Amino acid sequence: MFDKEREAIFDTLAAEWSSLPGPPLAAALELLEGLQLEDKVVLDVGAGTGALVEAGLLQRPRKWVCCDISKAMLAQIEAVWSGDPLVKTLHADAHNLPLEDNTFDAVICNAVLPHLRDRSRALGEFHRVLGANGKLAINHFQGRIRINAIHKSSSYPLLREDILPPAEMVVAELEELGFEILQSVDNEERYLIIARKPE
């Protein structure tokens, strides 16, 4: 499975993406510091142009893998970070990760969940690649209503269908997969779910 339609859209969007304001460094740090990523192997899924990489490297991870369906997005990460041995890029679809089981300590999914057309399958992939005690963070630095309003006004009809569901729905799906929920926030300003794969 490779979502060719969204790949084409995000390839087109990549040129303007890095000129749009990303999350402030302080907000990214607040998210990542809570995950305790020192010496950890991290999968930044749907990494885009690398909005989290600077804050991620400040956590001193062992490896930071930026995965995205769009090569054009990843090219922008490579243009900035290819000299850093900790940063790797991976052109892959979150629904079908070409990664071994139990190989990551953390999966971070920032501003990506609404774009995953088969959420249950993608969440299953995150569970599969995480090792025991591995953490999954699903985050938006804005509230769900705001995110959904942005998507509904997209000039791309396909992205208008990319709706962020209530956190309680995603929490139930994660629990079904065997995740333990550590935190769930779904309010006007923030959407955050942190889950752990038990031992």
Ligand X SMILES: C[S@@+](CC[C@H](N)C(=O)[O-])C[C@H]1O[C@@H](n2cnc3c(N)ncnc32)[C@H](O)[C@@H]1O
Site residues for ligand X, 13-42, by CB under 6 A, read 22
Q: What are the residues facing 195 on neighbouring strands?
A: 136, 181
Helix residue ranges per DSSP H, 100-143:
119-129
Count of residues engaged in binding ligand X, rule: CB under 6 A:
22
Give SS3 for 48: coil
Q: Long-range contacts for 8-12 (Cβ within 8 Å, ≥24 apart)?
A: 9/156, 9/158, 9/159, 10/48, 10/68, 10/69, 10/70, 10/72, 10/73, 11/70, 11/71, 11/72, 11/73, 12/72
User: Is 47 one of the binding residues for ligand X (CB under 6 A)?
Assistant: yes
For 147-178, give one letter per residue: b (16+ CB within 10 A) or e. Answer: bbeebeeeebeebeebebeebeebbeebeeee
User: Is 77 one of the binding residues for ligand X (CB under 6 A)?
Assistant: no
CB of 28 to ligand X, least distance (A): 9
User: Is 69 one of the binding residues for ligand X (CB under 6 A)?
Assistant: yes
> Which residue type is seen at 84?
D
Give SS3 for 174: helix
CB of 124 to ligand X, least distance (A): 13
CB of 71 to ligand X, least distance (A): 9
User: Is 76 one of the binding residues for ligand X (CB under 6 A)?
Assistant: no
Q: At 54, list the tokens.
A: 């600077």
C-alpha–C-alpha distance, residues 151 and 170, integer Å: 19
Comparing CB distances to ligand X, the nearer of 78 and 133 is 78
In the bound state, the residue with its beta carbon closest to ligand X is 48
Window of 62-70, 151-159, 169-177, 181-189 that interacts with ligand X by CB under 6 A: 62-70
Choice from 35, 73, 77, 174 touching ligand X (CB under 6 A): 73
Contact between residue 144 and residue 169 where contact means Cβ atoms under 8 Å apart = no
User: Is 125 one of the binding residues for ligand X (CB under 6 A)?
Assistant: no
Comparing CB distances to ligand X, the nearer of 7 and 186 is 7
Site residues for ligand X, 79-118, by CB under 6 A, read 93-95, 110-112, 115-116
User: Is 48 one of the binding residues for ligand X (CB under 6 A)?
Assistant: yes
Q: Which residues bind ligand X (CB under 6 A)?
A: 3, 6, 10, 22, 45-48, 51, 67-70, 73, 93-95, 110-112, 115-116
